[in-house]
Amino acid sequence: MFFILSKVLAFLLIPLLYIFVLLAIAVFSKKPKAKRNCLLSGLVLLWIFSAPLFLNLFAKAWDVAPGKLDAGKTYSAVIVLGGFAGDNGKGKWAFNWAADRFIQGVLLQRTGKAKKIVISGGNGHLFADGFREADWAKEKLIALQIPDSCILVENQSRNTLENASLTKALLIKNKLKGPYILVTSAFHMRRSLQIFKSKGFDVIAYPCNYFAGTGNLSFGDLIPEAGVLTGWNTYIKELIGYMVNHITGKV
């Protein structure tokens, strides 16, 4: 139920949906005042949610700063959360825009910062097929000549809550003690820390895959960009998940 609820809420709170409704009312309404108000509201919302300025300001406040890794220390495991691969439209799976999660996990393991790399991810689609992201990622890790003995996979989780609970069982089974390095996208780290710490994990945040809020603000950030709407969809999804976790008592 929680899994379906989060998907539905994420859809209902897409900014473009409300902008479209307001503009549609402006076009079809026969009341001049309603047409004017809806048109103005729709245009203002469209600018707010397409100008990089507002997304960058929100991202700066939302994103979590990286934790400090002790120099010369090798941690027992780096946990890499799934979401970095998807269907390429041709019936096969490939790395997507979040591939930096995979890259940073590999670098941490290959440079000796972590003994083992744990990939946590099954299939997060509402109507899932047989694909399991962690299994697919393991094939790529082996192709990079990372020993099978250094790879652990959790291939059943559909969301971050399941990432945490199932990964914990896997780490206990393999007698790996914390602290662990937690790798995920910057926008996803706050909710991930919320969940993993609630499950008793001792984790160090290692955010990556930044796409907003990383540079200095400029006049150009006031100019609308289509891609910013997608960025808001991503952050709104995270905010919904963060709040629902509290409301439902999941954390």
The amino acid sitting at 120 is: S
Domain 75-208 is classified in which CATH homologous superfamily? HUPs (3.40.50.620)
State the amino acid at position 77 in one-letter form: A
User: Per residue of the chain (251 residues), what is the pLDDT tens digit?
Assistant: 555 666 666 667 789 999 999 999 999 999 999 999 999 999 999 999 999 999 999 999 999 999 999 999 999 999 999 999 987 767 788 999 999 999 999 999 999 999 999 999 987 554 456 688 999 999 999 999 999 999 999 999 988 999 999 999 999 999 999 999 999 999 999 999 999 999 999 999 999 999 888 888 888 899 999 999 999 999 998 998 898 888 877 77
Which residues on neighbouring strands pair with residue 154, listed in sequence order?
120
This prediction has a pTM of 0.88
Instruction: Find out whether 73 and 141 touch, Cβ atoms under 8 Å.
Output: no
- Phi, psi at 114, each rounded to 5°: -140, 140
Whether 237 and 10 have beta carbons less than 8 Å apart is answered as yes
Q: Is 144 helix (H, G, I), strand (E, B) or coil?
A: coil
Q: CATH 3.40.50.620: which residues of the chain?
A: 75-208
